[in-house]
Structure 1
Amino acid sequence: MNLTGNWTYPTVIKFGAGRIDELPGACADAGITRPLLVTDKGLADLPITRQALNILTQAGIEVALFAQVDPNPNEINLADGVAAFRDGGHDGVIAFGGGSGLDLGKMVAFMAGQTRPVWDFEDIGDWWTRADAEAIAPIIAVPTTAGTGSEVGRASVITNSQTHVKKIIFHPKVLPRVVICDPELTVGMPKFITAGTGLDAFAHCVEAFSSPHYHPMSQGIALEGMRLVKEYLPRAYADGTDIEARAHMMSAAAMGSTAFQKGLGAIHALSHPIGAIYGTHHGTTNAVCMPAVLELNATEIADRFDKAAAYLGIEGGFDGFRDFVQRLNDRLNVPRRLSEMGVGRDRIDDLTDLALTDPSCGGNPVTLTRENVRALFDKVI
């Protein structure tokens, strides 16, 4: 099977093994001559990052590296990145890495030309119109994990370092102009990152499919995304060099992010404050929360997941699907409770308050209340 393509939905995507070599051409396509490559601290010295920098340098492109990005990036990282962008006279950003590097890189390009604080552009109503759209620098995204799908997203998640609240910052022009999806960049991912990021993609598809909002295109993408994760995440986990599995998982990640234009739900409403307060891995947190949220939503989603289960080759309809999710978590060595990830019960009230204000609440098929959200936290912790 030839797993190569040139896609323009939702943006220009250059997909296929070895396509990192096309990074200089992507810069030309995006109108970038002096890029700032933004990635996280863990990736800064790895061979795949050096490879990307060398490809640009050999093409005569002057590039600089900014890697002061935390696992849950915050406004301090952002301010440092914007300063590096301005001081270096850069005209575009290459957002490189997993969700943290991609999200912060997009925000550096967004905020470099703005005068208002980043919180003024939170994804509330039409707040995005406050931004100077002409001052947003062009973005190229290069994912090195298969999970968040931030490479095809129009928003970033930034944690407020003072309040420990994760905020979604949105603008249509934050969507990268060119995306390079090269599954070879994901080959070196550790098993626990392969599992956590893959289950993040799965959570995006599950929640988009569960959302009550109308978006048939997203519904179809979410369903096929679930199938790809079901078939290929165990393979990628078992053998990190399985390039076919890695490629299909990279597709599933982009599909999950595209699909959740239809909405997210309680899984993300819970995981955002947990990650902000306890610093847990986002995708793994989602995976732990997923079985309990499926159970909460059962009355509203059972019929559609009966059909999904049939498509996915899972016996038992919705109940079979829910059981499959727990078996998949177990197979990938995901903890059954968040207490195993350092999350305590001492801040359940704070977590509940934060979850109820998370914008993901609006896409949950069952209305979220203080009572059912607190009960969910109690169950998953």
Structure 2
Amino acid sequence: MSRLDSNRPAFDTVADWNYPTRILVGAGRIAELAEACRSLGMRAPLLVTDPGLAALPMVDQALEQCRDAGLEVGCFSQIQGNPTGDNVTAGIRAFREGNHDGVIAFGGGSGLDAAKAVALMARQRDDLSLWSLEDRGDNWRHAEADAVLPVVAVPTTAGTGSEVGRASVITDQKAHVKRIIFHPRMMPGAVILDPVLTQGLPAPITAATGMDALSHCLEAWCAPGYHPQAEGIAVEGMRRIREALPRAYRDGNDLEARLDMLTASMMGAAAFQRGLGAMHALAHPLGALFDAHHGLLNAVLMPYVLRANTPAIGEPMVRMSRYLDLPGSGTAGVIDWVLALREDLGIPHTLAELGIDDSRAELVGRMAIEDPSAGGNPIPFDADAYRSLFMAALEGRL
């Protein structure tokens, strides 16, 4: 029995899911990491994570478990909070130098996104640029599908849901823009949702990442596309967030709440294939220009975007407020709930409180309409509307 097996807690919710990929759910399931790698044909995986996690015992234990199982595992941790193309290039170099055959994506959204991009690109032809696979049209067809490497994803935060996504958000440093890189085979072949790995997450990060999960569910719910399955997943994800996020914020050792948040995060990412919207259309350029935390940006932008979309989302907001059993009804009731939740979680009310200013307001508006997320907004805002929305969130004009 490995040390990870002996530390398996008493919390007994355990399940195996296969939507949208193989998912091992439950406290202590990280002990099955080596088996998950082997199931995808890996013998020499590269574990990709961020520097903060690389210094923690959980990563050492995961590496030791893989080595004890006979895997020739390596570790790469040169990942920024908003991962860049240079980070991906360095990861590809480490992958090739170590003669690896697959990737363990270990961490929050940044680590998962960078790891998936490494798996996408490490075996592609040398003249293929990462940016040529930006999520526009059929750009993904430029890549060799059979060259995409297998990934086991292990999320340690409950926010992006990147563990069940077919895309990565990577910052193009030269252009100062976040690009969504897409390929259908980027979906990890196995996921481990182990709430124990999120227990040490600080309360402010729990709040910001949890609000990111809410933004995915909420924008998917409001998107105008026809996708009833995504609607159902989105609204159930929001119900779980309403109940679990305040608990996980108050008590980081509440494993039930932690698992519900991991589940809701995954559900948000599965649902937003229906579409995202203005929250993300603004958060992506603001993250690239100001290097701000993506989840925190979405959390601050949320009520302002809901208010701006009010003419187009009345009926969905009525249904949502009923399903979540909110005190108020319709869009006003949802906004009141969001504001109260943000206050409980210590989320700032304005972008200015994040150190953002209006020096590039015109650029933000232009970048927002170019972001792929803008296509899912209930109202097709132009650059001036996005600039006005940005300024409202900057100054606190709700």
Normalized against structure 1, the TM-score is what? 0.99
User: How much has 1:316 moved relative to structure 2?
Assistant: 2.1
Aligned pair 1:100/2:113, yes or no? no
Letter in 2 for 1:34: A
Letter in 2 for 1:241: N
Letter in 1 for 2:45: P
Q: Could you say which residue in structure 2 is the equivalent of 1:32?
A: 42
Match of 2:27 among 5, 11, 17: 17
- The one-character-per-residue Cα deviations of 1:17-69 (angstroms, maximum 9, x if unpaired) are 00000001101111110000000111111121112111111212111100000
User: How much has 1:371 moved relative to structure 2?
Assistant: 2.2
In structure 1, distance between residues paired with 2:118 and 2:106: 12
In structure 2, distance between residues paired with 1:273 and 1:303: 30
Q: Could you say which residue in structure 2 is the equivalent of 1:344?
A: 357
Aligned pair 1:65/2:75, yes or no? yes
Local SS of the residue matching 2:16: strand
Local SS of the residue matching 2:43: coil
- The one-character-per-residue Cα deviations of 1:218-250 (angstroms, maximum 9, x if unpaired) are 000000000000000000000000000000000
Letter in 2 for 1:213: G
Pairing 1:216-295 to 2, within 5 Å after superposition: 216-295=228-307
The runs of at least 4 consecutive aligned structure 1 residues that moved more than 6 Å come to: none
In structure 1, distance between residues paired with 2:44 and 2:30: 18
In structure 2, distance between residues paired with 1:126 and 1:3: 41
Which stretch of the first structure deviates more once superposed, 369-378 or 78-87? 369-378
User: How much has 1:315 moved relative to structure 2?
Assistant: 2.4
Q: Could you say which residue in structure 1 is the equivalent of 2:337?
A: 324
In structure 2, distance between residues paired with 1:3 and 1:206: 27
Q: Could you say which residue in structure 2 is the equivalent of 1:6?
A: 16
Local SS of the residue matching 1:43: helix
Q: Could you say which residue in structure 1 is the equivalent of 2:347?
A: 334
Structure 1 unaligned segments of length 5 or more: list them: none
Local SS of the residue matching 1:163: coil
Letter in 2 for 1:296: A
Local SS of the residue matching 1:167: strand
Local SS of the residue matching 1:225: helix
Pairing 1:67-216 to 2, within 5 Å after superposition: 67-115=77-125, 116-216=128-228
Q: Could you say which residue in structure 1 is the equivalent of 2:327?
A: 315
In structure 2, distance between residues paired with 1:34 and 1:2: 31
User: How much has 1:3 moved relative to structure 2?
Assistant: 2.5
User: How much has 1:368 moved relative to structure 2?
Assistant: 1.1
User: How much has 1:131 moved relative to structure 2?
Assistant: 0.4
Alignment size in residue pairs? 381
User: How much has 1:2 moved relative to structure 2?
Assistant: 5.1
Letter in 2 for 1:88: G
In structure 2, distance between residues paired with 1:5 and 1:184: 15
Q: Could you say which residue in structure 1 is the equivalent of 2:385?
A: 372
Local SS of the residue matching 1:204: helix
- The one-character-per-residue Cα deviations of 1:157-177 (angstroms, maximum 9, x if unpaired) are 010011110000000110000
Letter in 1 for 2:303: P
Superposed CA RMSD in Å reads 0.9
